[in-house]
Structure formats: structure tokens, C-alpha cells
Amino acid sequence: MPPDTKRSRAHLKAQRAELEKLSSRSAGARQTVTLDQQNVGRLSRMDALQQQAMAQATERQRAAEIAKIDAALRRIDDGEYGYCLECGEEIAEKRLEIAPAVALCVRCAGSGEV
């Protein structure tokens, strides 16, 4: 039986909204370096650059997560949600509950990715 896509969709949308909220909140952190360039000394500027790099890495991670969620939402629309992209087997319901954006079953995902 296919999973409860209504619930999965709500879950995915909530996750997505949360990620976007975090993303807009940290938008300032990613821009501080250019804004403060004239005012800060060399050392604190390096600090700021480092912080900016970290914020950008986090943002990239977030964007990847959002892309995964979007792909899962598309699979719901296509009626393919809940089936492993590798082997086509149903993904365990428990697994989807914990991570609704997963595209692979436990076996195909191996020990690496969730």
C-alpha cells in the first residue's frame, strides 16, 4: 500500500518552511563582510570572512535539503512517492516518517546517507 501522502506532504511542506525561515534569518550573516569591510580591522575581517564562509556552507546545505524536499513533493504529485528510486521497492513507512524526503530504501541507501 502506498504511504499516506497527505501527511507526508504536510510534513515536507513544514520542513521546507522551517528551512526557508532559517535561511532568511541568516541572510544578514552572509552579507556582513561586504557591509562592514571599511570598519573592521584585518583580524576581525578574517573572522568575519570565516563566519561568512560557514554561513554560506550552511546555506548550501539548506538549499540541497530544500531541493530534496521539492523532489519528494514532485514524487507525491507523480504518484511515485514512497518507492525507492534505485530498486523500486516500497520505502518503509517508519523511515518516511522520520525523513519524509528520502528517495532510497534502507538497503539502497546503505550506511551512508539517511
Q: Measuring CA to CA, which residue among 53, 58, 69 is closest to residue 16? A: 69
91 binds Zn ion (CB under 5 A): no
Minimum gap (Å) between residue 106 Cβ and Zn ion: 8
Candidates 6-14, 45-53, 67-75, 86-94; binding stretch for Zn ion (CB under 5 A) = 86-94
> x/- contact string, 23-62, with Zn ion (CB under 5 A)?
----------------------------------------
86 binds Zn ion (CB under 5 A): yes
Minimum gap (Å) between residue 108 Cβ and Zn ion: 3
- 90 backbone dihedrals φ, ψ, rounded to 5°: -65, 140
State how far the Cα of 92 lies from the Cα of 29, in Å rounded to an integer: 39
Give yes or no for a contact between 67 and 23, defined as CB atoms under 8 angstroms apart.
no
Candidates 11-19, 55-63, 64-72, 102-110; binding stretch for Zn ion (CB under 5 A) = 102-110
105 binds Zn ion (CB under 5 A): yes
The sign of the dihedral angle between the CA atoms of 86, 72, 70, 60 is: negative
State how far the Cα of 97 lies from the Cα of 93, in Å rounded to an integer: 6
Which residues here bind Zn ion, judged by CB under 5 A?
Answer: 84, 86-87, 105, 108
